[in-house]
Amino acid sequence: MKKINYPVFFPDATRAVLKATDSTDIKGTNTPGILVNTLHLSINPGGRIIDKYQGVRKFMNWDGFVISDSGGFQVMSMAKSGPRKGTITDRGVTFYLTNNKKILLTPEKSIEFQFRLRTDMMVVLDDFTPPKANFNEARETVERTVLWAKRSKDEFEKQCVERKLKDKPLLFGVVQGGEYLDLRRICAEKLIEIGFDGLGYGGWPISENGKFNYDVAKLIADIAPKNYLIYGLGVGKPEEIVGCVQLGYHIFDCVLPTRDARHGRLYIYEATSMDKINIRSPKFYKYYVPSKQEHFGDTRPVSQACDCLLCKNYSRGYLAHLFRIKEISALRLATIHNLRFYSILMEKLASTPAKITQA
């Protein structure tokens, strides 16, 4: 694996595509890596197709980094909630895809499939602590998360041997436990005992008051050994990423920039040029909603502090037009812009290190 300059943000290409874009678009935004999803890709296109391409990278023609998520988030979003609830036992998670089609995901299967994806970084299957879990419920998810983490690690080592890999992927344990700091601590300690390349801040990182839970974020960063990478799963808003990098985090992934773009919310820096961006100022960016009436006659670019495909070539008025007529290229241009916003953010963070110890 090539050397990574941390911190990094990997946008979510869950199904081996960053929605509304293609791999050359992503490359153009200076995005170093992406996240793909084990569960979704094992359903579609499935392992046989992935094998034919010798991994997801060739499948989607992407030569940057790839982290694969285990399906742990889907334990929450599809098995614990949603219209077709699944079932969770110590053995694994059963997802009901249609009324007569189900799939069992186990920690071992998740890891095995991630090897077939040939990703650079892998995440263990975890039992997502629901946002409103009480202490006992949270404790159970921690116990299962640790149990699964151990089995994942064993399967990981087995795969490395079987596949005779000299360049091993990185493996991340995921810390669960909800808002209970003592559970989080126990979970992190047990994961460290098992031994990983890094720890992930899992579960739902937003408190009930809508604020990002920095207490948990800090706890994990503080417990992790010096040589560990720290990964904020599903994190987050730009200011949350800045905050976590200050705590020592290295890796992030999130759907926000891409989803927000498709929903007509762009991020723009409060700056007149790229060098004047100050990510340490409290409100260093704002939202820009292209379709608002006031933008239709605006011939300026969306942002002066951006060098993306959209900002270099098209005006606010043109983008407003594309959104209004629901032209699909609006989604592409907006997505490209938001991805570039995030990659600029990470470039700024890398050039003004806070306490990044990982080389």
Partner RNA sequence: GUCAGGGUGGCAGAGUGGUCAAACGCACGAGUCUGUAAAACUCGCGCCCGAAAGGGCUACGGGGGUUCGAAUCCCUCCCCUGGCA
Please give the angle made by the CA atoms of 220, 224 and 228, to the nearest 5 degrees.
120
Question: Could you say which of 93, 217, 221, 235 contacts RNA (CB under 7 A)?
Answer: 235
Q: Fill in the per-residue mask, 177 to 206: x = in contact with RNA (CB under 7 A), - = not in contact.
A: -----------------------x-xx-xx
Nearer to RNA, 52 or 289 (CB): 289
Annotated catalytic sites, by residue? 69, 253
**What is the closest distance, in whole angstroms, from the C-beta atom of residue 76 to RNA in the complex?**
6
Contact of 212 with 240, CB cutoff 8 Å: yes
Q: What are the Cα distances from residue 238, in Å, to 306, 326, 346?
A: 15, 27, 9
Nearer to RNA, 13 or 305 (CB): 13
**What is the closest distance, in whole angstroms, from the C-beta atom of residue 86 to RNA in the complex?**
11
Residue 77 within binding range of RNA, rule CB under 7 A: yes
The CB density around residue 247, as the number of other CB atoms within 10 Å, is 18
**What's the token pair of residue 184?**
């989080």
**Which helix or strand (DSSP H or E) is residue 349 part of?**
helix 328-351
**What is the closest distance, in whole angstroms, from the C-beta atom of residue 135 to RNA in the complex?**
18
- Judged by CB under 7 A, the chain residues 279 through 308 that form the site for RNA are 289, 291-293
Fill in the DSSP letter of residue 274. G
311: CB partners within 8 A, 6+ apart: 301, 302, 303, 304, 337, 340
Question: Letter for the amino acid at 169?
Answer: P
Q: Which stretch binds RNA (CB under 7 A): 11-19, 23-31, 98-106, 311-319?
A: 11-19
- Judged by CB under 7 A, the chain residues 148 through 177 that form the site for RNA are 174, 176
Q: Which of 255, 251, 256 is nearest to 119 (CA)?
A: 251
Residues at the contact surface with RNA, assessed by CB under 7 A: 11-12, 14, 18-20, 35, 37, 40, 69-70, 72-74, 76-78, 81-84, 123, 126, 128, 174, 176, 200, 202-203, 205-206, 210, 212, 233-237, 240, 253-256, 258-260, 262-265, 289, 291-293, 324, 326, 328, 331
